[in-house]
Amino acid sequence: MERRLISHLAHRDHPIAAPVSGAHVTRLLRRARLPEGARILDLGCGEAAWTLRALALYEDATADGVDVSAEALKAAEAHAEVQGVWKRIRLHEKPAADFPVAEKYDLVLCVGATHAFGGLGPTAGHVRRYLKPNGLALIGEGFWEREPTPEALAGLGAGPSDLLDLPGTVAAAESAGFDTVYAYTSDLSEWDDYEWSWTGTLLRWANEHPGPDADAARAAALEHRDTWLHGYRKVLGFVTLLLQRSAEEKPART
Ligand X SMILES: C[S@@+](CC[C@H](N)C(=O)[O-])C[C@H]1O[C@@H](n2cnc3c(N)ncnc32)[C@H](O)[C@@H]1O
Nearer to ligand X, 17 or 124 (CB): 17
- In angstroms, give the least distance from the CB of 210 to ligand X: 27
- Nearer to ligand X among residue 71 and residue 213 (C-beta): 71
In angstroms, what is the minimal distance from the CB of 152 to ligand X? Answer: 18
CA quadruple 169, 174, 178, 182: dihedral sign? positive
**Shortest Cβ distance from residue 51 to ligand X (Å)?**
9
Sign of the dihedral through C-alpha 108, 109, 110, 116 = negative
> Least Å distance between CB 19 and ligand X?
10
Nearer to ligand X, 24 or 250 (CB): 24
Nearer to ligand X among residue 116 and residue 206 (C-beta):
116
Give the list of residues 6+ apart from residue 220 with CB closer than 8 angstroms, or none: 1, 6, 10, 202
- The SS3 of residue 49 is helix
Position with the least CB separation from ligand X: 46
Nearer to ligand X, 58 or 194 (CB): 194
Q: Residue 240 or 246: which CB sits closer to ligand X?
A: 240
* C-alpha pair distances (Å), 202 with each of 70, 216, 224, 226, 236: 19, 10, 10, 14, 22
Q: CA-to-CA distance for 56 and 70, rounded, in angstroms?
A: 23
Q: Which amino acid is located at 143 in the chain?
A: F
Nearest to ligand X of 17, 120 (CB atom): 17
Q: Closest separation between CB of residue 119 and ligand X, Å?
A: 12
The CA-atom distances, in angstroms, between 101 and each of 57, 63, 127, 132, 206 are 26, 14, 10, 12, 42
Provide the edge-to-edge strand list for the sheet that holds 105-111: 89-93, 62-67, 39-43, 105-111, 131-144, 236-245, 178-185
**Min separation Cβ 250 and ligand X, Å:** 26
Please report, as ranges, the residues that interact with ligand X according to CB under 6 A: 16-18, 44-46, 49-50, 66-69, 72, 95-96, 111-113, 116
The amino acid sitting at 99 is F
228 secondary structure, DSSP code: I
Query: 3-state DSSP call for residue 110?
Result: strand
Q: How far is the CB of 11 from ligand X (least distance, A)?
A: 8
Neighbours of 179 (CB within 10 A): 14
